[in-house]
Amino acid sequence: MKIGKLIRLARGNLVRELGALAVSAGGVALGTGCLVFFLALGAGLQGVVNQVFPVSTREVEVVVPQLAIGNLLGEQKIDDATVQKLRALRGAAAAYPKMQLRVPAVTRFSGPFFGRELRMGLEVVATGLMPELVGEDARMPFEDRGESQPIPVVVNRRLLELYNKVFAPQRNLPRLTDSMLVGFQIPLELGKSWVVSRSLPDSQETSMQLVGFSERATLAGVSMPLAAIRRINRKYGADADTYSSVLVRAQSADDVGDVAAGVRKLGLEIDDTERLYAVQIGAAVELVTLALSLLAALITVLAAVNTMQAFYASVRERTREIGVLRAVGATRGDVAAVVLAEAAATGLAGGVIGVVLARLAGALLDQLARTGLPEFPFKPATFFTFHPGHLALGVGVALLAALLGAFLPARAAARLEPAKALTES
Amino acid sequence: MSAIELRGVAKQYPPREPGSLPQDLLRGVDLTVRRGEFVAVEGQSGSGKSTLLHVLGGLDREFAGEALVLGCDLRAVTDAELAALRHTQIGFVFQSFNLLPALTALENVLLPDFFGDGVPDAERRAREALDRVGLADKARARPAALSGGERQRVAIARALVARPPLLLADEPTGNLDARTGEGVIDLFRQLHREGMTLLIVTHEARVSHSATRVLVLREGRLHADGAEAVETE
């Protein structure tokens, strides 16, 4: 039986039994709609987690163990030789050392700040990064240009989010964007601290210039070129030879295990605090998504049972018609195909309706979140990520549920003896 | 070559209640129908007429004995081969028309085209068949919009669209008024003149009078064969 003819034959029956099949399609739509909705919600929330805790699958942060015996004795350190060893580890592609600013520094600002008068003073915490690590995140040169020039800094984008969603509303300060801030300069006093006892005798006034936002930048303060940090530390007699941590990039995600093993052999440790946060929250999101998806799957199973009952009733009502089909030359397979084609159409309709309903529900909830929820850091524009795969899965599950539901009725229809079917009243 | 050959065909229905005897619907029927014959099968209700028709049409395979229809051994062929036989070689007309309500008259006539390898030049043939039964202008009408006579004529057009050599009809005038029934009988006569083999189950004398041969079934047995009766008269 050709597919075009099958569709024409099934279409007539579908139109006639629209009411009963609409109920079946509605059940399928509800189940698959819930499935797509929950999967999209899970993916959306996972996206938020990834935004808050960006974790690279190829990179590890290497630090000196806090409780290492060697460390207590002052032997454990990360110097250039250690960085070379890390670069040489099996599976390692690159190693980027980081160094903290080891002298006190403050910033004092008093003046117009994007339309408002602002007076503030802050201790500056800074970390030195290699320019290659910041890369194109810096929209102006990120390199040390000597004492007389402003020190370029990059700031973690998450700090800007916290400023805009928490700090600015509380202090009635303007909300800021990347483009507003890049190029902005702020005074910096090296060797000075708001804690008088920490201040050094020969402080130096300079300035910092924001050159970009980068996820590579530290969350606790600002990030400067490594050369600038080394120069300042050396000038004030602080340790300018050892690094506070090293970011090691593996050749691939599969090589991270080898790199981690090599790091441990060197007596160093991997700081995976942020990774653990991401993993734990991600696992919680996955667990909830799984539970809700199972609920949706249960609804879909019930829809399949409902479809089965609807098609059994349909086959019973059409027994004589099935006899006629057999009389004019339909095989058992043809009869089953007609019933399954009707089920497929029901499932497809249910799947498409379910996907559309899921998207509409997502859009509605996003709208409610936009207007009803207060601003908070990392509040997403949408809580849902509708992957094409989810939509295809929704339609596929709907189709499968309808076909499975109609399987037994189709088999029963195919098994009807034509003579008995024709004499059915 | 004969169109139909039955040897000792018997059929039982299982007992309706435990302890009761099985019901004999056909009891050792022997029959030969030559190609081109117009045969009427008479008999009282429950005599086995419809059962015989179902066996001949390959609609019921659960029988004993030997049945050859157009050279095809009905008990030896597969289900798919039997479907192909019904599709291309046998046309059926039923008392209650059995049109599919969701389809138009034309689509109902085209129904055999949906299955197997279809019907060659199906649309043209279907329109010709409708024209032949006088319903060319009703092609787009659905069965609910047709009278009983019109529905039966659509059913006859459906039986003719594949141009089968054998037409089996079960009480085709049973639900029609006298005038409409006469029109259907005229059509059967015309088909017979064109060489088609017809076997019509009926209890109406006007149908039997048009046939070249009349069989009478009583309690599942072939009680009388009009061809033999004519020869003896």
Please answer yes or no on whether B59 and A418 come within 8 Å at the CB atom: yes
Is there a contact between B199 and B167 (Cβ–Cβ < 8 Å)? yes
Looking at B143, B163, B183, the residue that finishes a domain is: B163
Instruction: Tally Cβ neighbours within 10 Å of residue B168.
Output: 30
Q: What is the pLDDT of residue A71?
A: 53
Is there a contact between A315 and A339 (Cβ–Cβ < 8 Å)? yes
Is B176 found in the same domain as B151?
Answer: no
CB of A2 less than 8 A from some CB of B:
yes
Is there a contact between B2 and B32 (Cβ–Cβ < 8 Å)? yes
Instruction: Give the separation between CA A386 and CA A365, rounded to whole angstroms.
Output: 14
pLDDT at A70 over 60: no
SS3 B53: helix
Smallest CA–CA distance from A423 into chain B, residue: B50
Nearest to A331 among B79, B92, B112 (CB): B79
Task: Give the pair of three-digit tokens for residue B162.
Answer: 């594949």
Question: Tens digit of pLDDT for each residue in A146-202?
Answer: 988 999 999 998 888 888 888 888 888 888 888 889 999 999 999 998 887 778 888
Chain A residues closer than 8 Å to B84 by CB? 329
For the stretch B141-145, contacts whose Cβ atoms lie closer than 8 Å and that sit 24 or more positions apart, written own/partner, are: B141/B104, B141/B105, B142/B101, B142/B102, B142/B103, B142/B104, B142/B105, B143/B97, B143/B99, B143/B100, B143/B101, B143/B103, B143/B105, B143/B108, B144/B101
Instruction: Tally Cβ neighbours within 10 Å of residue B22.
Output: 10
CB of A332 less than 8 A from some CB of B:
yes
* H helix or E strand, kind and range, residue B229: helix B226-232
Q: What is the pLDDT of residue A132?
A: 94
Bigger pLDDT: A234 or A71? A234
Smallest CA–CA distance from B162 into chain A, residue: A328
Each of the 233 residues of chain B gets a pLDDT tens digit; together they read 789 999 999 998 877 777 777 788 899 999 999 999 999 999 888 888 889 999 999 999 889 999 999 999 999 999 999 999 999 999 999 888 889 988 899 999 999 999 988 889 999 999 999 998 889 999 999 999 999 889 989 999 999 899 899 999 998 888 778 888 888 898 899 999 999 999 999 988 888 888 999 999 988 888 877 754 433 33
Please answer yes or no on whether B83 and A330 come within 8 Å at the CB atom: yes
* H helix or E strand, kind and range, residue B217: strand B213-218
HSE value, Cβ hemisphere, 13 Å, CA-based, for B157: 32
Q: What is the pLDDT of residue A263?
A: 93
Strands A245-250 and A92-100 turn out to be: antiparallel
Please answer yes or no on whether A329 and B112 come within 8 Å at the CB atom: yes
As a whole number of Å, the end-to-end CA separation of chain B is 26
Instruction: State how far the alpha carbon of A47 is from the alpha carbons of A56, A82, A157, A384, B227, in Å.
Output: 14, 36, 16, 9, 88
CB of A334 less than 8 A from some CB of B:
yes
What residues contact residue A237 under an 8 Å CB cut-off, 6+ apart? none
Smallest CA–CA distance from A12 into chain B, residue: B102
Residue B79 is given by DSSP the state H
Instruction: Give the separation between CA A328 and CA B90, rounded to whole angstroms.
Output: 8
Mutate which: B25, B87, B115, vs A, most A CBs within 10 A: B115
Please give, one letter per residue, the 3-state secondary structure of chain A. Answer: CCHHHHHHHHHHHHHHCHHHHHHHHHHHHHHHHHHHHHHHHHHHHHHHHHHHCCCCCCEEEEECCCCCHHHHCCCCCCCHHHHHHHHCCCCEEEEEEEEECCCCEEEEEEEEECCEEEEEEEECCEEEECHHHHHHHECCCCCCCCCCCCEEEEECHHHHHHHHHHHHHHHCCCCCCHHHHCCCEEEEEECCCCCHHHCCCCCEEEEEEEEEECCCCCCCCEEEEHHHHHHHHHHCCCCCCCCCEEEEEECCHHHHHHHHHHHHHCCCEECCHHHHHHHHHHHHHHHHHHHHHHHHHHHHHHHHHHHHHHHHHHHHHCHHHHHHHHHCCCCHHHHHHHHHHHHHHHHHHHHHHHHHHHHHHHHHHHHHHHHHCCCCCCCCCCCCCCCHHHHHHHHHHHHHHHHHHHHHHHHHHHHCCHHHHHCCC
Is there a contact between B169 and B93 (Cβ–Cβ < 8 Å)? yes
Instruction: Give the separation between CA A419 and CA A191, rounded to whole angstroms.
Output: 103
Is B76 found in the same domain as B143?
Answer: no
Task: Give the pair of three-digit tokens for residue B112.
Answer: 């055999």
Is B9 found in the same domain as B65?
Answer: yes
Rg, Å, chain B Cα set: 18
Distance from the Cα of A306 to chain B's closest Cα (Å) equals: 24
HSE value, Cβ hemisphere, 13 Å, CA-based, for B87: 23
Is B173 found in the same domain as B157?
Answer: no
Is B80 found in the same domain as B39?
Answer: yes
Chain A residues closer than 8 Å to B83 by CB? 326, 329-331, 334
Distance from the Cα of A41 to chain B's closest Cα (Å) equals: 43
Among all chains, which residue has been given the structure tokens 């009349």? B214
Nearest to A16 among B57, B83, B101 (CB): B101
Q: What is the pLDDT of residue B233?
A: 32
Please answer yes or no on whether B83 and A1 come within 8 Å at the CB atom: no
Q: What is the pLDDT of residue B229?
A: 40
Among all chains, which residue has been given the structure tokens 């019933």? A339
Looking at B141, B163, B185, the residue that finishes a domain is: B163
Among all chains, which residue has been given the structure tokens 């249910």? A350
Residue B38 sits in a domain whose CATH number is 3.40.50.300
Smallest CA–CA distance from B103 into chain A, residue: A12
Is B7 found in the same domain as B76?
Answer: yes
pLDDT at A87 over 60: yes
Instruction: Tally Cβ neighbours within 10 Å of residue A113.
Output: 16
Smallest CA–CA distance from A422 into chain B, residue: B98
Chain A residues closer than 8 Å to B57 by CB? 327
Nearest to B80 among A324, A328, A331 (CB): A331
* H helix or E strand, kind and range, residue B83: helix B79-88
Is B169 found in the same domain as B85?
Answer: yes
Domain of B73 in residue numbering reads as 2-89+164-232
Task: Give the pair of three-digit tokens for residue B164.
Answer: 């089968």
Question: Tens digit of pLDDT for each residue in A351-370?
Answer: 999 999 999 999 999 999 98
Give the amino acid at A28: V
The rounded percent of chain A whose pLDDT value lies above 70 is 98
Bigger pLDDT: B17 or A410? A410
Asked which of A147-151, A376-380, A391-395 is least confident by mean pLDDT, the reply is A376-380
Task: Give the pair of three-digit tokens for residue A289.
Answer: 């998504």
* H helix or E strand, kind and range, residue B156: helix B148-160
Distance from the Cα of A6 to chain B's closest Cα (Å) equals: 7
pLDDT at A76 over 80: no
Q: Which segment, A44-53, A371-380, B61-70, is predicted with the most confidence on average?
A: B61-70
Q: Per the structure, how many domains does chain B have?
A: 2
Instruction: Give the separation between CA A111 and CA A15, rounded to whole angstroms.
Output: 74
* H helix or E strand, kind and range, residue B153: helix B148-160
Is B59 found in the same domain as B24?
Answer: yes
Mutate which: A322, A328, A338, vs B, most B CBs within 10 A: A328
Smallest CA–CA distance from B113 into chain A, residue: A5
Number of inter-chain CB pairs under 8 A, A vs B: 81
Residue B143 is given by DSSP the state G
Q: What is the pLDDT of residue B230?
A: 39
DSSP for B98-123, please give it. Answer: ---TTS-HHHHHTGGGGSTT--TTHH
Is B169 found in the same domain as B155?
Answer: no
Per-domain residue ranges for chain A? 3-53+278-422, 59-272
Instruction: Give the separation between CA B140 and CA A145, rounded to whole angstroms.
Output: 88
Provide the mean pLDDT of chain A: 89
Q: Write out residues 16-55 of A within 8 Å (CB-CB) of B.
A: 16
CB of A323 less than 8 A from some CB of B:
yes
Is B14 found in the same domain as B106?
Answer: no
Is B177 found in the same domain as B225?
Answer: yes
Give the distance from CA B218 to its chain's centroid: 19
Bigger pLDDT: A104 or A170? A104
Please answer yes or no on whether A418 and B107 come within 8 Å at the CB atom: no
* H helix or E strand, kind and range, residue B214: strand B213-218
Is B226 found in the same domain as B117?
Answer: no
Looking at B163, B192, B215, the residue that finishes a domain is: B163
Tell me if the pTM is above 0.80: no
CB of A328 less than 8 A from some CB of B:
yes
Question: Tens digit of pLDDT for each residue in A275-327?
Answer: 787 788 888 988 998 999 899 899 989 989 999 998 999 899 889 999 999 99
